[in-house]
Amino acid sequence: MRNGRIRVEGEVEYRFTHPDDFREHVRDRKGRSPVPKLVPAKEAVAAFVADGDYIVYDFSSLTRGPQSLIREVIRQRKKELWIGAEFTLHESPLLVGAGCATRIDVGFLGYGNYIGQAVCDGRVKAYEWTNGGLALRLLAGARGVPFLPTRDLLGSDNMDVSAAKTITDPYTGDPVCLVPALNPDVAFLHVHQADVFGNARIFGTNLFALEAALSSFRVIVSAEEIVESDEFRKDPMRTTVPYFLVDAVVHAPFGAYPGAMPARYEIDLEHVDRLNAIRTDEQMGKYLEENIYSVPDHEEFLDRRVGAKRMRELRRRATIVEGYR
Partner 1 sequence: MPRTVEFTDTEFMIAQGARLIEDGKTIFVGWGIPQVVAMLAQKLYVPNVTQLFEFGAIGPQSVLPFVRGTMGGPQNTYRSLQWLNMNWAFSYSATGYMDYGMLGALQVDPYGNINSTHLGGTFAKPDRRFAGSGGGNQVASHCWKTIIVIKHEGRRFVPKVDFLTSPGYLDGPGAREKAGLPRGTGPHRVVTSKALFGFDEETRKMVLLSILRGLSVEEVVKDMAFRPLLAREIGEIPPPTDDELRVLREEIDPARFIIRGEKMSATT
Question: Within 10 A of 185 (CB to CB), how many other CB atoms are there?
Answer: 23
Residue 152 or 225: the one with the smaller Cβ distance to partner 1 is 152
Taking CB under 8 A as the binding criterion, the range among 20-28, 37-45, 108-116, 178-186 that sits at the site for partner 1 is 108-116
Which H or E element spans position 21? Answer: helix 19-29
The answer to the question of residue 56 lying near partner 1 (CB under 8 A) is no
Which H or E element spans position 286? Answer: helix 281-288
Determine which residue in the list 1, 47, 269, 277 makes contact with partner 1, applying CB under 8 A: 269
The answer to the question of residue 214 lying near partner 1 (CB under 8 A) is no
Phi-psi group of 252: left, alpha or beta (phi > 0 → left; psi -120 to 50 → alpha; rest → beta): beta
- Phi then psi for residue 313, to 5 deg, are -65, -45
CA distance 197 to 242: 9
Residue 120 or 308: the one with the smaller Cβ distance to partner 1 is 120
Taking CB under 8 A as the binding criterion, the range among 29-37, 169-177, 218-226, 305-313 that sits at the site for partner 1 is 169-177
> From the CB of 299, what's the least distance to partner 1, in Å?
25
Determine which residue in the list 40, 46, 102, 152 makes contact with partner 1, applying CB under 8 A: 152
The answer to the question of residue 176 lying near partner 1 (CB under 8 A) is yes
Residues 196 and 152 sit within 8 Å (Cβ to Cβ): no
> From the CB of 110, what's the least distance to partner 1, in Å?
7
The answer to the question of residue 224 lying near partner 1 (CB under 8 A) is no
> From the CB of 147, what's the least distance to partner 1, in Å?
15
Determine which residue in the list 151, 286, 312, 315 makes contact with partner 1, applying CB under 8 A: 151
SS3 state of residue 84: strand
The answer to the question of residue 230 lying near partner 1 (CB under 8 A) is no
Q: Total residues at the site for partner 1 (CB under 8 A)? A: 66
Residues 93 and 71 sit within 8 Å (Cβ to Cβ): no
The answer to the question of residue 133 lying near partner 1 (CB under 8 A) is yes
CA distance 264 to 204: 12
SS3 state of residue 226: strand
Taking CB under 8 A as the binding criterion, the range among 24-32, 94-102, 268-276, 281-289 that sits at the site for partner 1 is 268-276
% helix, strand, coil for the chain, step of 5: 35, 25, 40
User: Long-range contacts: 231-234, Cβ < 8 Å, 24+?
Assistant: 231/193, 231/195, 232/195, 232/199, 232/201
Beta strand pairing status for 165-168 and 186-194?
unpaired
Nearest to 87 by CA among 75, 74, 104, 71: 104
Residue 39 or 215: the one with the smaller Cβ distance to partner 1 is 215
SS3 state of residue 239: coil
The answer to the question of residue 284 lying near partner 1 (CB under 8 A) is no
> From the CB of 86, what's the least distance to partner 1, in Å?
7
Cα 54–57–61 angle (5° rounding)? 125
Which residue intervals of 77-234 are DSSP H helices? 91-97, 112-120, 130-143, 209-215, 230-234
Site string for partner 1, 75-104 (x = CB under 8 A): -----------xx-x---------------
> From the CB of 51, what's the least distance to partner 1, in Å?
25
The answer to the question of residue 164 lying near partner 1 (CB under 8 A) is no
Residue 180 or 262: the one with the smaller Cβ distance to partner 1 is 262
Residue 223's DSSP bridge partners are: 191, 251
Residues that bind partner 1 (CB under 8 A): 11, 59-60, 62-63, 86-87, 89, 106-111, 115-117, 119-120, 122, 126, 128, 130-133, 135-136, 139, 150-158, 160-161, 166, 169, 174-177, 204-211, 260, 262-263, 267, 269, 272, 276, 318, 320, 322-324
